[in-house]
Structure 1
Amino acid sequence: MNLSTEAKVGAVTIVGLLLLAYMIVHLGGFSFSDKGYPVTATFNQVSGLKEGNLVRYAGVEVGRVQAVSVAPEGVKVRLLISPGVKIPQGARFTIGTDGLLGEKFINILPPAANSGFLPPGAQVRGEDPQGLDQLIATADRVLLDIQALVKSLNDVLGDEKVKGAMKQTLLNARQITDHLNELSASLARMAQSSEGDIQDTVRNLRAMSGSLRDVAARVDKLVANVDNNGQTATDLRETLANLKATSARVEKMAASLEGVVTDPETSRNLKETLRNAREASEKANRILSKVDGVKAEAGIEMLYDTDNHKYRSSADVRIQTSPRDFAVIGVSDIGDSSKTNFQVGRGEGLAGRAGVIDGKAGIGVDAKLGQQLRLSVDAYDPNDVRVKLRTQYQIAPDTFVVGQVDGINKSADTSTSVGVRTTF
């Protein structure tokens, strides 16, 4: 079958028209039958939304706007949701824009929790979009606030006094920076020049600890010899106990003879014997009670005289005869001038002492400041009064850091010493 040229041209034209119609229907979203289910959203205003605009759920196209109509309660927008798409209950319906001046569309945002799905024909309330007028009004308010802020800043910063103060502050900051740089350089030079002194100090501390260990050994040996491993105290207790027992026996013997003796002289002697025996027994009882309550604490220390650059060692024994009464016996500057110390005192938190201090008559006061710090002041040598200030800080159960200033009332003879002390 041969077609004429006119027929071929007509057939091609018809096919082209059919393809054009299909493209228009397909790309334009036209449909000859409504597919899907309706949902009606009510807005206060729709900002130019019109029929045929897209409906998106979380950014995915799920339908189109089927109709926009005005109602007493607002603007009703009929949405046609594609078949198979389920919109959760509680979803938010808003109006969005593609770009700044693009086409409007309905944007559906999913809820935080799903409690079911919207049925066909459901009625929902949409959220009003932020229109350009509202944005402009907000921008105007913000601009007014900015203008007020700028005016306030101009009022403050425009003051000549404020300008002068700010300039002076900047100048001071620059001077402080220069001074800090000079201080850093000085510290660096000081550290470099003092490196040798620091090493000498470390060596001196090592030597001081060795000397302190030797002194501790000597004092320990001295205490052991005096105490004889506790035998001295044991012998003293036995002697007092024997004295008490003897006095009791004498008293019993005298009492038994008192009713037999008739001679007046013998009777007086017997009564005197009874009285002496009773007094001896009472004294023995008092001495025994005191001996049982006696506590002794020995201590040694090593100090470094920072003014004369020499070491001094001392040792002492503190005898506590009661909770408030005590005595201190010791020797300071062992091996050099060996000055004797012997004082008796009374008190607890605040105690007073009197006796021999560094070989001279004097008095002293001790004060406990808390659990670790102790402060002492001594005044001695009535012919040339000298005052000594001493602090002692506990850093371990039996170890203390000591600071001492001798001759604090005599500027020419003042010397400062630091060191450590240990007790046992």
Structure 2
Amino acid sequence: MSTEAKVGAFTLISLALLAFIVIHLSGFSFGGEKGYHIQVLFKQVNGLKPAAFVRYAGVTVGSVKTVEADGLGARVKLHINPGINIPDHALVTISGDGLMGEKFINILPGDMESDTYLLDGAVVQGVDERGMEYLMANAGTTLDELQTLIKSLNDVLGNEQVKNSMIESAKNIKTMTDNFNHMSIVMERMAVNNEQDLRVMITNLSMMSQSAKSAADGMDRMIRDFSRDGQTAEQMRQAIVNLSSTSRRIENMAANLEPVVADPQTAQDLKTILASAKNVTARADTMMSQVSNITAEPGIDFLYSGGKDQWMTNFDLKVSTSPNQFLLLGVDDIGGDDQTNLQLGSGNDTLAGRVGIIDSKVGIGVDSYINDKLKFSLDAYDPNDIRLKFRGQYEFMPDTYLVGQTNNVNKSAERVTYFGIRRTF
């Protein structure tokens, strides 16, 4: 074969390979586009564009071909890949990848099983999403409800009669568990030395077991209604310790008596007592864990701007229900604008996020802990007129901080910077 022929053959083969690659990557098919089409009707499409993904149960199964107005709303034509069967009762919605992400069609299978599937050319009614417009339209109602909730909580927790009743209940339960503890020590010694008739001892054990269960029920209720009064908390902890100790002694006594009891009824009573004591012990351990995990840290800020709105006093209360979750509530600018704060947060020793009410507006916040003394925070709130607040604080003495805070960072005409002191208790 001549050189010219070899070059020609090589060129033809290269062109054929190039054509194959282009056709393969473009998805072109000589038999026409594979798969099938369905049309979805929406009242509005909120930025959906042609070529957007179509996902079924979270998996990409096609793409958007066209988006057109039809007089009553929008008509969206979808191309579905071959081999994908979509039930005729599936829900079709418009979703987005995150707050600012691209829109796509999201198809949900639905709750019912079906043997009937959408065919080529089918027309279905889509489910319109509720976007940011809906959120902002309802933000005012949500804020009013939250403020009503805060007022109700304040009325209950601020009632002196309620506080006194809870404190008195804690004292009574502590006294009762002290008595249980003493009785269990005496009866444990009696069981070892056989100082009394077994049947009488078992009857007494049964009474103690029932009393311990009643005490556990009472402490369960107190934990659910728990106030953060320090003295009450300590009394509850001591009562739970006594209850746990008593129930364990009842377990030991019942276990020691069980091998020497011949009467079937007495043996059954012992088994019941043993099961009840184990249950109370487990509940006491759980309650101790709950009480130990709940912490509350009140704090107050005294800030000065040197200009308009010169002084600002803030109060907040951070209630931690676990190492990673907390509730933050308080009031900023006390005696001035009285801005309400009520936020749920989650995070760790490095980074935490918050969402809820910030300065009486819906918002989100981020806290960054540089080390155990330095912390920076950024809040974004008020969906109708976005505002940013930046804050830094440094602990220069135990529970005492230097604070710098700038309100309305993104609004030069309203920007105010404060410096001052924060104290936690």
Q: Which has the higher contact order (CA 8 A, sep 6+)?
A: 2
- The TM-score with structure 1 as length reference comes to 0.37
Structure with greater Cα Rg:
1
- The TM-score with structure 2 as length reference comes to 0.37
